[in-house]
Amino acid sequence: MTDPSRLADDAFDHRAALATFDLDEARLATVLEQALVAGVDHADIFYEQCRSEVVAVDDGRVRTASTSDTQGLGVRVISGERQGYAHTDVLRLPALQEATRAAAEGQTSARTSAGGAIVALGGPAADRYPVVRSPMAAGLERKIVAMRRLDERARALDPRVQQVMGRVAVEEQVILVVRPDGSFVWDVRPLVRIDCSVIAGRDGKLARGSARTGGRTELEPLLTDSALDEMAREAVRQALVNLDAVDVPAGVMDVVLGPGWPAVLLHEAIGHGLEGDFNRKGTSAFAGRLGEMVASDLCTVVDDGTLAGDRGALNVDDEGTPAERTTLIEGGRLVGYMQDLHNASLMGMRPTGNGRRESYAHLPLPRMRNTYMRPGDSDPEEILRSVKRGIYAVDFGGGQVDITNGRFVFEMSEAYLVEDGRIGAALKGASLIGNGPEVLTRVSAVGNDLGFQKAQGVCGKDGQSVPVGVGQPTLRVDGITVGGSGI
pLDDT of residue 408: 85
Does residue 224 sit in the same domain as residue 259? no
Does residue 197 sit in the same domain as residue 279? no
Does residue 122 sit in the same domain as residue 251? no
Residue 360, judged by CB atoms within 10 A of its CB (0-12, 13-18, 19+), counts as buried
Does residue 118 sit in the same domain as residue 264? no
Does residue 224 sit in the same domain as residue 315? no
Examine the fold and report which residue of 210, 243, 276 is the final residue of a domain before the chain moves on.
243
Does residue 208 sit in the same domain as residue 313? no
Does residue 237 sit in the same domain as residue 290? no
pLDDT of residue 485: 61
Does residue 323 sit in the same domain as residue 373? yes
Kindly report the CA angle at 194 between 309 and 466, in degrees rounded to 5? 60
Does residue 255 sit in the same domain as residue 370? yes
**What CATH code is carried by the domain that includes residue 195?**
3.30.2290.10
Examine the fold and report which residue of 212, 243, 274 is the final residue of a domain before the chain moves on.
243
Examine the fold and report which residue of 208, 243, 278 is the final residue of a domain before the chain moves on.
243
The tens-digit pLDDT sequence of the chain (487 residues) is: 334 334 433 445 667 767 777 777 788 888 888 888 767 889 999 999 999 999 999 999 999 999 999 999 999 999 899 998 989 888 888 887 888 888 877 654 332 222 222 233 333 357 899 888 889 888 899 999 999 999 999 999 999 999 999 999 999 999 999 888 878 888 999 999 999 999 999 999 999 999 999 999 999 999 999 999 999 999 999 999 999 999 988 899 999 999 998 888 888 878 999 999 999 999 998 999 999 999 999 999 999 999 999 999 999 999 999 999 999 999 999 999 999 999 999 999 999 999 999 999 999 999 999 999 999 999 999 999 999 999 999 998 877 777 667 788 888 899 999 999 999 999 998 899 988 888 889 999 999 999 998 788 888 899 999 999 999 999 999 999 998 764 4
Does residue 282 sit in the same domain as residue 229? no
Closest CA to 407 of 439, 366, 380: 439
Does residue 221 sit in the same domain as residue 252? no
Could you tell me if 335 and 299 are in contact, meaning their C-beta atoms sit under 8 angstroms apart?
no
Q: Which residues form the domain of 53?
A: 4-243
Does residue 238 sit in the same domain as residue 264? no
d(CA 405, CA 437) in angstroms, rounded, equals 8
How many domains does one find in the chain? 2
